[in-house]
Amino acid sequence: MLVTVGALLPIVDPLGGAPIYLAATAGLTPEEQRTMAKAVAVNSFLLLAASVLIGAYVLDFFGLSIPAVQIGGGLVVCAIAWSLLNSPSSTAGLAGKPAAAADLGQRAFYPLTMPLTVGPGSISVALTLGAMQEHGVRALIVPALGHLLGVVIVAVAVYLCYRFADRILRRLGPTGTSVVIRLTAFILLCIGVQICWNGIHALLASSFPGAVR
């Protein structure tokens, strides 16, 4: 459990994602933002739990590798971060027009849950945790329960940070909030580039083991 929390929480980083969440839900009412925070937390739990328990099998079924997931996910992260950096208003970003109730569930999953909260980095870590399990019924069940409990803790942290994102940023004021959102978007762009490079480097290293270090 502690290994799962220690590995996933710094990468998911719900506190650092709070400004992005607030910018992405700027067109919603406070009640809708609270509903969205709960939906993102639930989606994060389901996505991370699935990645830990069956993610490796799904990748094998489709013939996909973790580096391919990193490159594809990193490109999506870069695109979203770039749109936030170039939005006319710091709170415009992904918010756009106020969404209908039917659209909230879609926005809660994409892009708020994936890739902004649970991105390719955290999915890769979850896949690695799941692949480390040993054979045998007891050796599978006990670690799986520990992983699930750790994922629950991460999801609760996501909910709390997103639920109170407005209070976290309220003391900064409009100018301070704008600066924090822009800075966080730039960091998110850098993270996307790093994730892409990790995937590219892994593919090159597997194709040319003697030339890439």
pLDDT tens series, the chain, 213 aa:
788 898 888 889 898 888 889 888 888 888 989 999 999 999 999 999 999 888 878 888 888 888 888 888 788 878 878 887 887 654 444 444 455 555 788 889 988 999 889 988 888 888 877 766 555 555 567 778 888 999 999 999 999 999 998 887 777 777 777 777 788 788 878 888 888 898 899 889 888 877 666
Residue 30 confidence (pLDDT): 87
CB 25 within 8 A of CB 113: no
What is d(CA 81, CA 75) in angstroms, rounded to the nearest whole number?
Answer: 10
Distance CA 28, CA 64 (A): 37
Q: Give the pLDDT score at 212.
A: 65
Structure tokens at 74: 């990193």
Dist. CA 99–CA 204, nearest whole Å = 43
Query: In the chain, how many domains are there?
Result: 1
pTM for this model (two decimals): 0.76
pLDDT for residue 109: 92
Retrieve residue 201's tokens.
């480097």
Which pLDDT score, from 0 to 100, does residue 166 have? 85
Which residue is associated with the tokens 């850098």? 190
CA-closest candidate to residue 80, choices 48, 107, 100, 51? 107
Nearest-angstrom CA–CA distance, 92 and 203: 37
Within 8 A by CB and 6+ apart from 154, the residues are 4, 5, 8, 9, 12, 14, 44, 45, 48
Cβ atoms of residues 146 and 4 within 8 Å:
yes
Q: How many CA atoms lie within 13 A of 136 on its CB side?
A: 5
Q: Is residue 11 part of a domain?
A: yes
Of 56, 51, 75, residue with least CA distance to 191: 75
- The residue count for the chain: 213
- Residue 64: predicted pLDDT: 82
pLDDT the model gives residue 134: 54
Instruction: Please give the angle made by the CA atoms of 24, 39 and 55, to the nearest 5 degrees.
Output: 100
**Angle, CA of 30, 107 and 194, to the nearest 5°:** 110
Residue 91 lies in a domain: yes
**Would you say residue 212 lies in a domain?**
no
Whole-angstrom distance, CA of residue 80 vs CA of residue 181: 13
Is residue 213, in this structure, part of any structural domain at all?
Answer: no
Q: What share of the chain is helix, strand, coil (3-state, %, to 5)?
A: 80, 0, 20
What pLDDT, on a 0 to 100 scale, did the predictor assign at position 70?
A: 80
pLDDT computed for residue 149 by the predictor: 95
Domain span including residue 117: 2-207
At 126, which amino acid appears? Answer: A
